[in-house]
Structure 1
Amino acid sequence: MHKFKLLLAICLAFFLTSCTSSAQATKSTPTVNLAKIAKINDKNIYTVNGKKYTNISTGSAHYEKTGKASYYHQKFHGNRTASGEIYNSTKLTAAHRTLPIGTHVLVTNLKNNRQVVVRINDRGPFTKSRVIDLSRSAASQLGMISSGVANVKVEKLHLVRN
């Protein structure tokens, strides 16, 4: 439990540092219309390839699921995500079908017990057999780059802000 808290603190510090540094980015960084993103994210139901998905409410108490994880191909680096962010393969982010955008989850590789905390910023995977798509950086930390997929456990984290 102590190692988990330490890992969570390190990941949270990394996330907060990356938010601060992105706020100080150069003028060439693309701007995002936050009102448009909020409008997209307020929808509880969306459709992809004719299938409807319902977002889990932000206040849901618990979420835990096991299944296969994959990671984004490098060709998606620089593309816009469902949240409106530009996908960056070096950030600790992921795509999930139903968890709210902005949710943090702990992903555990069940083969080697490596863990990583990621922030949901995209929708997917839309392959029935997968529960989450990870950034390349997150996949690397889980030790799944060579295999491309891994059996994982995904747990929703509840971050408390003081």
Structure 2
Amino acid sequence: MTEQHSHQFERGTDGPKVIVAGVDGSDSSLRAAAYAGGLARRQGALLAVVYVQPMLAGGAALGAPVAETTDEIAEELVAQIRDATERVKGIFDVRWEFHTFRGDPYNGLVATADQLKADAVVVGASEQAGHRFVGSVAVRLVKAGRWPVTVVP
């Protein structure tokens, strides 16, 4: 009688294969992306950089061009990532991709991490004072307990 092994998806058996980094343009999120890039390089993992463009209903009601502003931020983030990867090309090579869409940052990161079967999520610590009381995206990701979450100051 021979043993048959089922080929099922396993998390964490050979190190991370996909690392998701949440960015929003803040200094802490850019440090988180750099940290995640280092992890991805050392592990040979894919770095998935995710920018969830917030839906600001209040700003839209006031006539603010919210969608144009968040699109500009997304374009600037991609340009910064491309510039950084070009500077280190041939020295440090990292496979990366950029994902952006509109929605709630927490739900967007969760959906992307699930879709990509992420092994780890890296985000920057919130720079907003109110989040100490309400709860930041980072705290919510940690509480979800679905992936190892690294919060970079």
- The TM-score, its normalising length taken from structure 2, stands at 0.30
Greater strand content: 1
In our comparison, the structure showing a higher alpha carbon Rg is 2
- The TM-score, its normalising length taken from structure 1, stands at 0.29
By relative contact order (CA 8 Å, sep 6+), the higher-ranking structure is 2
